[in-house]
Structure 1
Amino acid sequence: MELRAVEKSYARWAPVYDNTFGAVTQRGRRRTVSYVNAKGGNALEVGVGTGLALPFYGREVEVTGVDYSEEMLDKAREKVRVHGLTQVKALQQMDARDLAFPPESFDTVVAMHIMSVVPEPEKVLAEMARVCKPGGNVVITNHFARESGVLAGLERLMAPLSNLIGWHSDFPLATVMGEPSLTLVERRAFPPLRMMTFLAFRKAG
């Protein structure tokens, strides 16, 4: 997606995101964060959005969140304040294609439901790998295009509307499988209707 389209989409979705797409994907977020909690250490959530996942992080994890949208971040900061989420150490405005962190900064880097939204997802994945420590994990939960069936046809029909609806319905899994420093160690299907895919990668070293 084009960056300007992403900006407009984020601003449009921010007021209603929690009760629409956010509600549909909440079970997958819980399961993804439980994986991060089991690893412990410090974690970076890329595309933290309105902070829907933040309350699920355990106190044993030190969380930093980044997002391109200030409208989304404002809602995330409010959640941190209202719920007293002391495990959240920072929420920063940032382009996921150019993360302002030194190499090898985080034990786990996680992105939930953003890879089919951001421009240049391959570059975003490369940045996630760069800031992950050797031996650490890069975790992605996202919708990927189905290869067959009725839903696959619907995804293809919706594809030209990506800038309007805010995500690529026909986003191919191969897009996130080409980072040479990452090895896939786990793959699972998440609700609703097994539409979301959980991928855990380990960084070399």
Structure 2
Amino acid sequence: MAERQSTLRARQRAETQRVIQAHAVRLFTERGYDATTVNEVAEAAGVSAMTVYRHFPTKEDLVLADQHGGLVAERLAATSPAQPLVRRIGRALVDATATLTEGDPATRRHLLARLRLMISAPALRARHLDNHYALQEAIVDALGVTDPEGTFQARAAAGACLAAMHTALVRWAEEDGKTSLPALIAQAQAAAFGDAAEGGAT
């Protein structure tokens, strides 16, 4: 019973976050990121400003917060440890992105709107670096390395793969999402890593 209630609360929390973020992205797109206040987002979402801050501690989080680290970690666990690190990480990033963008069209449009905001707003571009680091550490944790040298190599590989992915994300946004994002990520990886990226393409 307690477990069922905990699951229900988690679903309710996720839905509240989804609604708040959807209204935030819509308002930021319509009015501009800097011109829109958190209070206006709260009013549009039908919640209090305190509720917004409970789910999104900063205004930047309203655009950039996501749960993609867990999805990437799941995909990474399905790769073979015998493969080069950049190939394993690249494959996981491509597969996770395919899950996010090749299903529900609304989810795809939401991601595209968030990316456009990130590119256009300086405060969001700066905060994106924090998200980049958090995802990098999630990847390192998922690889399960514990020794200093292995951790260093994993961080270097993850950082390089994420840099290639960022380049693909920017191009995808500039092209209005008309191309396949997983394919663009695989293309960016191939440009960066050559043969080591084989197996990351879709």
TM norm structure 1: 0.25
Higher helix share: 2
TM norm structure 2: 0.26
**Which protein has the larger Cα radius of gyration, Structure 1 or Structure 2?**
2
